[in-house]
Structure 1
Amino acid sequence: MKVLHVITGLEAGGAERQLRDLVANHHVTAEVAALTKPGLISQAIQAEGVTVHHLGMTGNRDLRVLGPLWRLVQRGGYDVVHTHLFRAGLYGRLVARLSGVAAIVASEHSIGERHLEGRPITAPVRALARAGERLGHVTVAVSSAAAQRLVRWGVPEQRIEVIANGIDPRAFRFDPAVRETTRSRLTIPPHITVVGGVGRLEPGKRFDVLIEAVAGLPDTVLLLVGDGPERANLVAHARRLGIANRMVLAGQSSQVPALLSAMDVFAAPSQEETFGLAIVEALACGLPVLYSACPALDELPASASPNARRLPSAAEPFRQAVEELIAAGAPRQLPPQAVDHYGIGHHVNRIEALYLRVHEQRSRSKTIAPAWGEQP
């Protein structure tokens, strides 16, 4: 079986890292097409021996990308086209449907109640998303929360498959030597407590909450891993509170496991998540975790992640919780049960079983979860 993954870009975000881990563990032949922004993850995927096609889209409305995408799909002989993220889902499903690809799958990595991939959900965005969904055969929701949101958008339940994200726990194992090296590179002294966050720097991630929390915690540094449009505002906010010298912006990085090893507490004040991949990665590194939203943990019993604590998305609760952890020595723990539950092997097996089922049923009868308006 030959699969083409189509993704909007390959910068260092959660969906992009998830795709990297999926193709690195695939048992099928896979290639990747990035509409725009090849980025750090592109290099990591190619290092695994997987072909990455960069299609050169210059903006979200650059329809010229449809030409190279069409030519790629026409000559590729793909059995499955699997799209990731909004723009790739729209363009990739359209081209795959017009090309007669047997199985068209899309993953919804970042759909919230009010935001889609960090942008407000407007009527035109919702209409485009629903139109794109009709062109595929099945949509993968990475959590039950995401599936429920799709149903509220009007997507039939029989067209939705819930398959949780997965991580490679070994990649995120805590390493004291890596911790020391990474802190030295970032010029963070060994005795300083590091509160860390990972994610795109955008308003919805609420990293401003962490800046305000750390402002009330002496001898504490805030380490943020990621980049995005909110970067300048976060720097300005830290300056106003007088802690710019205690905030480290690591930017996009292919070394997330090393940066997690450098942290003492992981904090995620976002009020809305589709899955919460970075939280599971932090748990794999043995970190105590403070969070405001995480469907991945909500769907498991509390005993599966005893070192994770849910808090309101506000500075004072996060400040108090970090203070309590510091007093307790911010102890690292062995990865909890939740980490094994979300192992990458489970994810890959379920995705590939879905490919096979959809491909066989579409090829045999053309009646598997038909696109809206399509006759069996």
Structure 2
Amino acid sequence: MSGVLAEGTAEQPGQRPLRVLHVVSAMNRGGIETWLMQVFRSQDQARVRNELMTFSAAPGDYDDELRALEVPVWRCPPLGSALAFARCMFGTMRRERFDVVHSHPHQFSGVVLLLARLAGIPGRIAHSHIDTRAPDRSAGLPRRVYLSVMNTLLRLCATEGVAVSAPAAEALFGEGWQRQDRCRVLPLGLDLSAYAPPADAHAERAATRASFGFGPDTLLIGHVGWFIPVKNHTFLLRVFAEVAGRLPEARLLLIGVGELTAEVREQAERLGIINRVVFAGSRGDVPGLLRAMDVFVFPSLAEGLGLALIEAQVSGLPCVLADQLPAESRLPGAVLFPVPLAAGPEAWADAVLQAAATPHHVPETHGVDLAQAVRLLEGRYAHYRH
């Protein structure tokens, strides 16, 4: 069936665990990797033995925890060493004979799953986490050639495709993805216990704010995301500058790292707000930081889903977001203020101040239950047992 992922065949007692190889570039604190870690923490290794393959020489943020969880990590050379990379990936797949290769790096999954097919891996899953339709439509000739080759490889080599939302599915599998039996939307789940307020929530909030020099009454606006163009930090700073002009005691907390960090800092300097913006970097305590915020602002140009936005809603935060983001990113009962990006910083600042005056409210969360997502995944994996 197409559409939303359905549960598959149940595992029989006494069967060996399925070996599933997840392929990612590196295990840092991004949306894909954070979700994978939650899956690894919750999944019973007696049923599914999760393993990882990366193609980055740099250590990842989650490396220590992966060792503690006893998740094997296979490391291949970076993509710049194309022949060595391909030899490493193919050799590992052929030698280890995994049941499933679950590939996460969007279009490059075409190469990953070609190698998996050549290695004789029965289950070859391409997972779309992002919406690249706009940049793909405006791509130059070299990029269009690359996309054409990758799309052909995916059609030939993927046994199925899953996506975090309908826009993400269309971005990787084409406009007719719903008519393809092998393509489905997989509702992503979260470990909701991590976002529930602790018994001493008031003290935790005060302590977190104090650690950054914020007082209990400071209007704290927050954002979580990689410093990359699609996250639209430059627009976010313009919105905050407008808010700060009306409410000088407001502060902005930015969580994340990336290629544009220095550029965003320079922009904050030019706007005269650098002393009101905290660059917190990559953090492992995001749930606690969300509980310390008053408003979450998410002006992304595009998102496959927007896991950080889901996390903010689950935490009860009022959220100001770009109105074109996927419907799957909005939880029933969440406090949401969708605004067109074209409305400009002043309209966004109006929404932020309106959100700041709105009580926090935890929405319905049955659609983002991690246990359900894990069951759905295991059902799909079970089809590919050797």
Q: Which TM class, normalised by the smaller chain length?
A: 0.7 to 0.9
The reply to whether residue 184 of structure 1 matches residue 210 of structure 2 is yes
Residue of structure 1 in register with 2:349 after alignment? 319
The offset of 1:173, in angstroms, is 2.1
Deviations 1:11-33 (Å, cap 9, x if unpaired)? 21111111111222223111111
Residue of structure 2 in register with 1:292 after alignment? 322
Residue of structure 2 in register with 1:265 after alignment? 295
The reply to whether residue 45 of structure 1 matches residue 56 of structure 2 is no
The reply to whether residue 142 of structure 1 matches residue 164 of structure 2 is yes
Distance in 1 between residues matched to 2:166 and 2:189, nearest whole Å: 15
Contact 2:110–2:151 (CA under 8 A) maintained in structure 1:
no
Amino acid at match of 2:143: T
> What secondary structure, in the 3-state scheme, does the structure 1 residue paired with 2:133 have?
coil
Change (3 A) 1:129 1:182: farther
Change (3 A) 1:35 1:237: same
Distance in 2 between residues matched to 1:312 and 1:60, nearest whole Å: 39
Change (3 A) 1:345 1:295: farther
Distance in 1 between residues matched to 2:80 and 2:204, nearest whole Å: 39
What does 1:104-143 align with in structure 2 at a 5 Å threshold?
104-115=124-135, 122-133=143-154, 134-143=156-165
The offset of 1:35, in angstroms, is 1.4
Amino acid at match of 2:216: P
Deviations 1:52-109 (Å, cap 9, x if unpaired)? 223242x456442222222322332311111111376234212211110111112111
Amino acid at match of 1:16: E
> What secondary structure, in the 3-state scheme, does the structure 1 residue paired with 2:29 have?
coil
> What secondary structure, in the 3-state scheme, does the structure 2 residue paired with 1:245 have?
helix
Deviations 1:348-368 (Å, cap 9, x if unpaired)? 1111111123x16xx6xxxxx
> What secondary structure, in the 3-state scheme, does the structure 2 residue paired with 1:158 have?
coil
Distance in 1 between residues matched to 2:98 and 2:194, nearest whole Å: 30
Distance in 1 between residues matched to 2:53 and 2:212, nearest whole Å: 34
What does 1:87-102 align with in structure 2 at a 5 Å threshold?
89-102=109-122
2:271 to 241, 261, 272: 241
Name whichever of 120-129 and 139-148 sits farther off: 120-129
Change (3 A) 1:60 1:355: farther
Residue of structure 2 in register with 1:65 after alignment? 85
The reply to whether residue 163 of structure 1 matches residue 186 of structure 2 is yes
Amino acid at match of 1:8: S
Residue of structure 2 in register with 1:6 after alignment? 23
Contact 1:179–1:261 (CA under 8 A) maintained in structure 2:
yes
Gap regions ≥5 residues in structure 1: 364-376
The offset of 1:179, in angstroms, is 2.5
Change (3 A) 1:113 1:305: farther
2:332 to 304, 324, 348: 304
Instruction: Provide runs of 4+ in structure 1 moved above 4 Å.
Output: 153-156, 293-296
Distance in 2 between residues matched to 1:178 and 1:266, nearest whole Å: 18
Task: Give the alignment's Cα RMSD to 1 decimal.
Answer: 2.5
The reply to whether residue 214 of structure 1 matches residue 244 of structure 2 is no
Q: Report how many aligned residue pairs link the two structures.
A: 351
Contact 2:106–2:129 (CA under 8 A) maintained in structure 1:
no
The offset of 1:212, in angstroms, is 1.3
> What secondary structure, in the 3-state scheme, does the structure 2 residue paired with 1:114 have?
helix
User: Given the two structures, how large is their TM-score scaled by the length of structure 2?
Assistant: 0.83
Gap regions ≥5 residues in structure 2: 1-17
Contact 1:24–1:45 (CA under 8 A) maintained in structure 2:
no
Change (3 A) 1:178 1:65: farther
Residue of structure 2 in register with 1:254 after alignment? 284
Contact 2:337–2:355 (CA under 8 A) maintained in structure 1:
no
Distance in 2 between residues matched to 1:248 and 1:165, nearest whole Å: 30
Change (3 A) 1:204 1:233: same
Deviations 1:186-227 (Å, cap 9, x if unpaired)? 232332111111111112111222211221222111111111
> What secondary structure, in the 3-state scheme, does the structure 2 residue paired with 1:107 have?
strand
Change (3 A) 1:270 1:289: same
Amino acid at match of 1:166: G
Change (3 A) 1:180 1:105: same
Distance in 2 between residues matched to 1:251 and 1:154, nearest whole Å: 40
Distance in 1 between residues matched to 2:284 and 2:336, nearest whole Å: 25
Contact 1:8–1:88 (CA under 8 A) maintained in structure 2:
no
Contact 2:313–2:319 (CA under 8 A) maintained in structure 1:
yes
Distance in 2 between residues matched to 1:43 and 1:303, nearest whole Å: 33
